[in-house]
Chain A
Amino acid sequence: MDGYPLGSLDHNVPLIVVSGLTSDPPDQPPKAKGQGVFLRSDLPPLEGKEANFLESYFEEVDERGKSWTVVTREEHFRLRVKTVGRTFVLPSRRATLPETIEPLTNTPILHSPFSPLSPSSALYPDGLMNAQWIKKHQEEIPSIFVCFHTLTSDSKIAVQQDNRLKSALNSMRATLVESGYKTRLVVIILGDAEAKANLTAEIIQDRLEGVRRGTGLDPKSIFYIPPQESPSELRRVMDSIFALLYNTAIEYYRDLGRHARKKRSRGIVPQPTLPPTSGTSQTLSLPDWNFRYDFKSAIFAEFRQEIDAAIRSFEQAYEILLGQDVLDIIPSWSPRWNEARLLADIISIRCLRLHLWMGQTSLAVRRWQSHRDRISDFVDRRGRGTNNYGWQAWESRWAMVMANMIEMVEVPGLGPSTMTIFLQPEKALFGERLQPWELLHHTGYWYRIAARHLGARRTLAHRIPDDDRGAPDASPASRVASKAIRYDTYMCPPPHEEYPLNGNGINHAQLMIDCLLNARGQFQARKQHRIAAEISLECAREMATLGSWNEVLAMLRPLWEDKSFRSEWWLDISEEILWVMRRAAAETGRADIVVAIDWELMNERFTPRKKWHYDLAKSLDGVSSTSRPFITISDDVASSFISTSFAFRSKEGRAGETCLAQLSLKSEALQAAAPVTLSSIRVEFEGHLKPITLIHDSDLLTNSSETPVSVTLVALTEQLGGDAKESDESEKEDKNDGDGDEDKAKDEDEDKAKDEDKDEVEDKDDEKEGQLTGKCDLTLRPGHRQVFEMNIPLREPGQASASRVVLTYKTDTFELDYTLSLSESGKVTGWFVQGATKPRLSRPDGHILHIQPRPPKMKLRLVEPLGQFYANEPIPLRIGLYNEEDDSANVKLDIRIVGKVIPRFRVDAGEHKREVDAAEEESQVTGLALGHIASSSSLELSIHLDPAPAPTAYEIQIRADYHLESDAATPIVQVLPIHLNIVNAFEANYDLMPRLHPDPWPSLFDYEDLQDVSDGDVVQARGLAQQWCLVCHYASFATEDLDVVGLDLALTAVTPGGRCQVVNQPELSADGLIVAPKTMYEARFGLVAQKITLDDRHPVAIDLAFVVRWRRRRQLADGESNSINVTTMTVGQYMVLGTEPRVLASVLHSSQEQAGLVRLDITIENPSSHFLTFGLVMEPSDAFAFSGSKQTTVHLLPMSRRTKTYRLLPLARGVYIRPGLVVRDKYFQKVLRVIPTEGMKIDKDGLLVWVPPAPEAEEKAEG
């Protein structure tokens, strides 16, 4: 915006001059020449804090008036305020005649000194317009002249003072009227505290009225400000006065505008005061005058803030200016041509501003473009063309104008905080086909365009031939003339200043940098970082042309560090940045950056630069550096041309063992690059692995250097922390060149290398940690992949992952450490084999190794384990410990048993014995020291658990804690878990069946038998007795055959008063009975229950238990027989010897000769104390014949029994026959069930008697 004449672009707002608040500066005399209208009054200026406040207030208003932002409706006034003392000089309205000319005959018509008609004007005779005129209205001629006065409160001199005031105002008014200016005079009377105290409102009113009348002011022009409480109230009052005055001021400018329009409508060309005598003697034509009038109306409209009217008038003026009659006919060599261009620019800028004020952003851009197009067309046609630096200078200026304007007008919605890149078109243009550029973009774009044109300007300036670049006084006149025609110097310097032959001309680069930095700020504020980066690059290039390398570095360093473009693979861009930066770094001696960039640029992704050495060794050639720098860079900063991967052969390893691993280095350098020989490589791990250092040894050339991949086996030497103790752990796996000679040679080499790398070793020793070192050839040719295969001894358990690789490169000039990260998760690595280019067995996370703890080699084992343990059986467990370690071990044993109820157990280990009592849930033996077990020998111990009473389960954990004699510090643990599930060996079910007791019942009447109660201690039972038979069906639930050696029935409880004994039980052979699994066996026991006394009528409950004595059939090695286990199964409770009568049927088969005659005894027992009568009815049957009473009655005394006998002759044999016998209690009419005994059974229809088959048949069947 600078470059345009001062005041030509100001935002025009009404001007108010305030006088009487300050004293005149003493050194400012009235205008020397005495020209102008001199407004003065002798009254003293006001003083006091109100005056001071008002002064600062006016400054504030004035400052606001300079703003370029739009005047909204909410804003009551926007004014420029000029504060003067009691005197003020208005410019004279009429120009004077120049003194040089001879006096004229007739009185000349004098014009304004700014008019082209006045010879004294700069425009005389044919200038169109200049900024002077605008300036005159904006700064010199106020619309309102405000005088501040006060009313004296001293009543004595009040009248005199008022009269003085009146006369001062009158003279001022008279001067104004005489001058012809329409400036309004306004008086503001400031009341002071004194006046408030002394004067009443009426007196003030009267005196004000007096002043007004005396001066002939209209009531709107005189204000009285009573003394205010606070400055803010004074401000409020002043605001309202200004709001009123503002309207008056607008009115003033409206008058002026009207005047301009009137003059235009006259349509005549005014004659100059004097006809021009110099130059072309040309005067302004009618279109020129019309332009002037339109321009004036537009400016006055702007004063009034009438935007529409202003645009209309400006556009009219602009059309006239660029029409056929004005600019077209001005010769391009004339200074008026450039003046006209300037006017066109000014009008356009003002129009742009008006458009922006109205929110017509797209129209503004369109206007911007159309002005450029029209001017370029004009310049092409009439001027010096657009292909010169002057045009580019203007283009850049024109873009800057827009940028500045957007900032100064503060276009809403386009500030940096809004993050908008461009504004949508205004409504009027909505739906039109718009150029993309017509959407108003933020200023960053405009600054960039300006910078671009500046670049073009420089290019064109540099094309100026040397002849034109000399100073004009040094070149012949003809050349000066031709230069004037050839070069467009509109708002830019002539060629000899633009790009002088000697000395500095325009610093184009600096201009561009300023522009670009402005633009960059805008883009950065809107998070357009990539454009900002691009601009930084452009800036850096310009700075490079200036040679300010430090600035270049400062500009590019952030881009380099945050890897913009590089991380996203914009290779061409990154390449550009890198090269510029490398140059800057080289110039400033930043060796680290130079090397880092060289390192990066060697990557074949980048296009090779011709004639570049691509050799790291030559990197610092020409870089001045004081000492040999030690450079550390990592792959976060500079990407590498060497890609690395690290893979372990397997996912898991064990401490104490070794694991194969491969480090692969691939050089992705440009083919033209020189091979790189690293001095060492260090692989670092996260977790429990020592770092590995590979040192270059040129003697160990890789034999397969022609293939794209070469796999080298590297022997590692382990150095323990600090003391550099070496163990030849991994010498043996050198299979590639594993000859003995080679090994020897290597050893020698190592010794040699030791001396060479002494300093390095010392370095590492400081770290006090062990490391692994190896030696190999570390030369990498472009495109070559070197794979180093190493056998890494694993020492500690845990997870180890290769974290980074540090490549060290040393030359005479510098030393470089390049760190590459390996710990990218999910990175797929593979295993390389000699001869293949691609890795095999690719797997993710190949750089991670799980190191298991050192495996215990002590074996714990259950000796001769039994498949199944049973309840009621003592459980012996034999545990064998076999030391398979290389060294003897000191073992301690813990035994822990978990279950519901843990029985007592005993641990027996040679001389060490422990016994633990039964416990609930858990029981353990700890710290059972077993002493030393020599290598590859064994120890056996046994655990004896007492029999479990019932099925259950035990978890036994046997844990051997041991350490080797050689390594007492490392505890090793071996654990043997045993799960014991204990089941019942037998299951049984039972049936208690009644039998007929053969003995006669005691008789109630047998007194002696009954009374002889006691016989010593043993009470002889004298009560009723019953015989029963318990049938036990038992089955083995074992998994194997068992020997049952005895079956017993145990009477666990009998109700007192009863007595019970087992009268017979099955006999087993001495070897016992082999009981097969899952097979039912039967055992019958005879039982006799008897009451002690006959008087006892209560039934007797007996509790029985079935006892099986058994043993395992297994033969023991040492000949001792298996112990006999006793399994007791409760049978349950039975009630016997009840008092109810019962009917027992017993059968007796005749001997063989009597041809199957069967005797059926029906015994009716009456244990009750009642006399009972029973009826017996025997039904005849087809199945047998019988003898005996068919129907009979049996009488039973209490405590008696009787037997009825039938003899049956079965008609069929080998079948059951069904005697239809019914026993009925006569008294209760109740049928009694006939209870079968041996050889009989019963179903729901009644009794069944088994008739054995005939002896022949029997024999047959048996046979």
Chain B
Amino acid sequence: MSAAIPSVACLGVIGRNNNPLHISIFPSYDPTANAFTPIRNPLQFSLLLSSTIDVFDLRSKTSTASGDFGLLHAIDDRLAAYGFETNTGVRMVCIVDMRGRRVEAGGSGVAGQGSGAAGASTASSTSASAAAARSSVGSVGAGLRDSEIKPVFRAMQSAYVRLLQNPFYDPDEHAPLGGKGGRRITSKKFGDDMKRIGEAWTPGVTTL
């Protein structure tokens, strides 16, 4: 017996020149295949991330000083993009898959990555009860508040700050002043941080 809960589908860092600095993609639960696979391919995620730039630009005229843009837009009924902008114009985007993870309806345990056992149980249960659970979760509010994404951005920002503290990381190389483009972040540590954040986040998590 399981229900879908939100999970991070993709974390992206976009540089000052609107150039991609980092993209991490996380698998989502696919009920038909009963496996964890990314919901979109990397190209599509790139497109999704780049599309948020428009929203950032559109909102930056009216936005608050805090840099937290909250929900940028929902791409469809499953994916939604949340955004955060640092003082230096680096934008962090978190794309949430609203049905990216399964949770056992009885317990609160979050299904792990390769949860074969859980999958088997779902397969055996009737689809009717699954639907009921889904609707019940829906009524309880499987939704998401903007504030629930904040820990992700906090963690991303501190990871980025740690990256900046690395003397071998030259931010200008990644977003040349007044120039175009820029290199991507190659730091393995930063990538690991992103991976950790993306995998650890689930609604209600306050620190990452």
Contacts and interface: CB of A to CB of B under 8 A. Distances in A.
A445 B19 contact: no
Contact of A568 (B18, B73, B76, B98): B18
Contacts of B47: 530, 534, 537, 573
B150 interface: no
Given A380-B127, A436-B96, A570 B19 contact: yes
Given A569-B182, A570-B46, A573-B46, A445 B75 contact: yes
Contacts of A419: 58
Interface stretch (A117-125, A427-435, A867-875, A935-943): A427-435
Contacts of B54: 527-531
B75 A433 contact: no
Interface stretch (B104-112, B128-136, B153-161): B128-136
Interface stretch (A349-357, A369-377, A722-730): A369-377
Interface string A518-550: 000000001111110010010000000000000
A437 B80 contact: yes
Interface in A97-146: none
B89 interface: no
Contacts of B77: 369, 435, 437, 449
A775 interface: no
Contacts of B127: 377, 380-381
A438 B46 CA distance: 24
Interface stretch (B114-122, B140-148, B165-173, B185-193): B140-148
B37 interface: no
A572 interface: yes
B71 interface: yes
A562 to B, nearest CB: 13
Task: Place the interface of chain B in its size category.
Answer: 35 or more
B168 to A, nearest CB: 18
Interface residues of A, number: 40
B136 to A, nearest CB: 12
A762 to B, nearest CB: 39
A381 B32 CA distance: 15
Interface string A404-422: 0000000000000001011
A441 interface: yes
Interface in B24-65: 32, 42-43, 46-47, 50-51, 53-55, 57-58
Nearest to A605: B181
A530 B93 CA distance: 15
B182 to A, nearest CB: 6
Given A380-B127, A381-B127, A567-B180, A421 B73 contact: yes
B5 to A, nearest CB: 12
Contact of B58 (A433, A435, A441, A528): A528
Contact of A436 (B20, B53, B55, B80): B80
A1102 B131 CA distance: 132
Interface string A434-476: 1111110100010011001000000000000000000000000
A72 to B, nearest CB: 28
B74 interface: yes
Contacts of A438: 143
A570 B71 contact: no
Contacts of A567: 180-181
A533 to B, nearest CB: 8
A576 interface: yes
Interface in A492-534: 526-531, 534
A435 B137 CA distance: 12
A422 B55 CA distance: 11
B145 A421 contact: no
Contacts of B144: 433-436
A436 B19 contact: no
Of A369, A387, A568, chain B has the most CB atoms within 10 Å of the CB of: A568
Given A433-B141, A441-B73, A569-B182, A527 B80 contact: no
A802 to B, nearest CB: 19
A528 B74 contact: no
A422 B70 CA distance: 13
B-side interface mostly? mixed
Given A437-B77, A448-B76, A568 B143 contact: no
A369 B72 CA distance: 21
A449 B76 contact: yes
A569 B180 contact: yes
Nearest to B72: A421
A-side interface mostly? helix
B73 A432 contact: no
Nearest to A386: B32
A437 B74 contact: yes
Contacts of A421: 55, 58, 72-73
A529 B96 CA distance: 22
A530 B53 contact: yes
A565 interface: yes
Contacts of A531: 51, 54
Interface in A13-61: none
A119 to B, nearest CB: 37
Contacts of B180: 567-569
A422 B141 contact: no
Nearest to A537: B47
A529 to B, nearest CB: 6
A108 B141 CA distance: 55
Contact of B145 (A377, A433, A527, A565): A433
Contacts of A377: 127-128, 131
Contact of B143 (A370, A432, A452, A528): A432
Contact of A373 (B55, B58, B96, B135): B135
A534 B80 contact: no
Interface string B65-92: 0000001111111101000000000000
Of A435, A526, A565, A572, chain B has the most CB atoms within 10 Å of the CB of: A435
A434 B147 CA distance: 12
Contacts of A437: 74, 76-78, 80, 98
A576 B41 CA distance: 13
A381 B19 CA distance: 47
Nearest to B178: A826
B19 A568 contact: yes
B71 A530 contact: no
B203 to A, nearest CB: 8
Contact of A433 (B18, B71, B78, B142): B142
Contacts of B71: 422, 436, 439
A435 B20 CA distance: 27
Nearest to B62: A419
A438 B144 CA distance: 10
Contacts of A387: 32
Nearest to A372: B77
Contacts of A436: 71, 73-74, 80, 96, 98, 143-144
A890 to B, nearest CB: 53
A373 B96 CA distance: 20
B151 to A, nearest CB: 16
Contacts of A568: 17-20, 50, 180-181
B46 to A, nearest CB: 5
A370 B19 CA distance: 39
Given A433-B142, A570-B19, A370 B181 contact: no
Nearest to A529: B54
Contacts of A435: 74, 77, 80, 98, 142-144
B102 to A, nearest CB: 17
Given A370-B135, A436-B144, A572-B43, 12 more contacts: A422-B71, A434-B144, A435-B98, A435-B142, A437-B77, A441-B73, A445-B76, A526-B58, A530-B47, A567-B180, A568-B181, A572-B42
5 A-B pairs with least C-beta separation: A436-B80, A433-B141, A569-B181, A433-B143, A436-B74
23 contacts: A370-B138, A381-B127, A381-B128, A419-B58, A421-B73, A432-B143, A434-B143, A435-B74, A437-B74, A441-B74, A448-B76, A449-B76, A527-B57, A528-B58, A529-B54, A530-B51, A568-B18, A569-B180, A569-B181, A570-B50, A572-B46, A573-B43, A573-B50
